[in-house]
Amino acid sequence: MKGLIINQFGGEEQLQIKEIAIPLPRSGEILVRIHAAGINPVDYKIRNGSLKFIYRGKFPCILGRDIAGVVEQAGEKSGYRPGDEVFGMLSLNGGGYAEFATVKESHLCRIPEGISMAEAAATPLASLTAFQSLQKGPRINKGDGILINGASGGVGSFAVQIAKAMGANVTGVCSKNNIEFVQSLGADQVIDYNNEDFTRLNQKFHKVFDAVAKSSFSKCRKILKKGGIYISTIPGKGLLFHKTFNFISKKKADFIMVRPSGNDLVLISDFIKKGLVRPRVQRAFPLEEGAQAHKLIETERVRGKLVLSVIRDCNNNSLPE
C-alpha cells in the first residue's frame, strides 16, 4: 500500500510517500481502507520530535491519528462487516496517513449520514478532545456560560458546537479574521483577542476551555464562577500545581488527555445527525501533499480542520477560502 512515512524526526520534508506492507489486524482489530485522514497538531509535534519522550513508534513510521474509510476486513465476532463506512481515532503511534490502517473495534464508529469522508476524517481527535474536556467539572445545564479560547481551530470549532448542543451559552475567543466563522458555529458572543482581554471580562463562566492553551488558570480564575473549572489542552507546570489543590479550591484547574472512544463518537455522531454539529474542513490536500498540509497546520492559523484525501474524490465540502 501507499503510505506517507517519516524515517526520522525533522521538518515537513521528512514526509515521503513509500510502498509499504498492509498492516495485519490482530484480535479485536478491524482493517480499514482509508478514504481520508485527519491532520492534527500532534502529528507535526511527533514529526519534529517535540513528543519523542512519550512517542513509542519505530521508524519508518506513519503519522496520523484520524481516519475515515470502509471496513476491509473484520473478525467473525465483530459488529462490523466489509463495506461498512467507519471513522475513528488511532493510538499515539498513528498509522492514518496511508491506504489502510488497523484500528481497535472499540475505537471506531459508523459514519453518520450527511457528512463526507473528508468531514468524517476531520472529526475524531478534535471532537473527542472537545467533548471529553466539556465533560470535566460540573454537568452543563441549559444556559450555563462556557468560554472557549481558540474557538476557530480544530478543537475549538467542535467545542463551540458541542457546548451549544449541550445547551450552554457560548463565548468564543478568536482573532478578528475568524469572528464570522465562530458566529456561524453558533457562538452567542465572540471576542477578538487582539481587541479585548477576555480574562478581564466583567462576566463569570461555569467553564473556561482553553482549546489552544494560550492562557492560564491564574489569569482565568477571575472569570470563573464558584465551582467553575478551567480546562487546558496542554498541562504546563503551573496547571499541574493548581490541579493538586482542586480538592480544597472552589475554582478548579484541569487538562485533557484525549482518549480514543467509539462510544463517545456515537454521542458526537448523534449531534451530527441532529444537525447540531458539523465538522468544518478548511482544506483537503492529496496524500502526496502532506508536507504542505503540515506547513500550514504549524502556522496555528487553520480555521477548522485540514485533511488528507487518500482516495482522490473523498467528497470534500471545504470552507470557502
Q: Does 214 bind ligand NAP (CB under 6 A)?
A: yes
Q: Does 297 bind ligand NAP (CB under 6 A)?
A: yes
Q: How far is the CB of 104 from ligand NAP (least distance, A)?
A: 18
Euclidean distance between CA atoms 11 and 244, whole angstroms: 37
Q: Tell me what percent of the chain is helix, strand and coil, each rounded to the nearest 5.
A: 30, 30, 45
Q: How far is the CB of 245 from ligand NAP (least distance, A)?
A: 21
3-state DSSP assignment of residue 134: helix
Q: Does 200 bind ligand NAP (CB under 6 A)?
A: no
Q: Does 303 bind ligand NAP (CB under 6 A)?
A: yes
3-state DSSP assignment of residue 317: coil
Handedness of CA 151, 156, 158, 160 (dihedral sign): negative
Q: Which of 4, 212, 229, 272 is in the footprint of ligand NAP by CB under 6 A?
A: 212
* Nearest residue (CB) to ligand NAP, 71 versus 297: 297
Total chain residues near ligand NAP (CB under 6 A)? 33
Q: Does 38 bind ligand NAP (CB under 6 A)?
A: no
Which three cell numbers, joined as nine digits, stand for 163?
457546548
Using CB atoms, what's the residue nearest to ligand NAP? 153
Which three cell numbers, joined as nine digits, stand for 301?
492559523
Residue with cell 484525501: 309
Q: How far is the CB of 143 from ligand NAP (least distance, A)?
A: 25
Facing residues of 65 across strands?
none
Which three cell numbers, joined as nine digits, stand for 152?
476557530
Q: How far is the CB of 76 from ligand NAP (least distance, A)?
A: 34
* Nearest residue (CB) to ligand NAP, 89 versus 224: 89
Q: Which of 68, 168, 211, 281 is in the footprint of ligand NAP by CB under 6 A?
A: 211
* Nearest residue (CB) to ligand NAP, 300 versus 313: 300
Long-range contacts of 174-183 (CB under 8 A, 24+ apart): 174/150, 178/151, 178/152, 178/303, 181/152, 181/157, 181/280, 181/303, 181/304, 181/319, 182/151, 182/152, 182/157
* Nearest residue (CB) to ligand NAP, 185 versus 272: 185
Q: Which of 196, 249, 301, 317 is in the footprint of ligand NAP by CB under 6 A?
A: 301
Q: Does 175 bind ligand NAP (CB under 6 A)?
A: yes
Cα-Cα-Cα-Cα torsion 119, 158, 163, 207, nearest 10 degrees, comes to 160
* Nearest residue (CB) to ligand NAP, 24 versus 54: 54
The contact mask relative to ligand NAP for 118-157 (x = CB under 6 A, - = no) is -------xx--x-------------------xx-xxxxx-
* Nearest residue (CB) to ligand NAP, 248 versus 257: 257
Which three cell numbers, joined as nine digits, stand for 40?
492534527
Q: Counting Cβ atoms within 10 Å, is residue 55 exposed (0-12), middle (13-18) or buried (19+)?
A: middle
Q: Does 288 bind ligand NAP (CB under 6 A)?
A: no
Q: Does 265 bind ligand NAP (CB under 6 A)?
A: no
Residue spans of alpha helices (H) in the chain: 41-47, 117-121, 124-134, 154-165, 179-184, 217-220, 237-243, 262-273, 290-297
Q: Does 257 bind ligand NAP (CB under 6 A)?
A: yes
Q: Which of 15, 34, 42, 224 is in the footprint of ligand NAP by CB under 6 A?
A: 42
* Residue ranges that bind ligand NAP, judged by CB under 6 A: 40-42, 125-126, 129, 149-150, 152-156, 173-175, 177-178, 193, 211-214, 233-234, 256-258, 297, 300-303
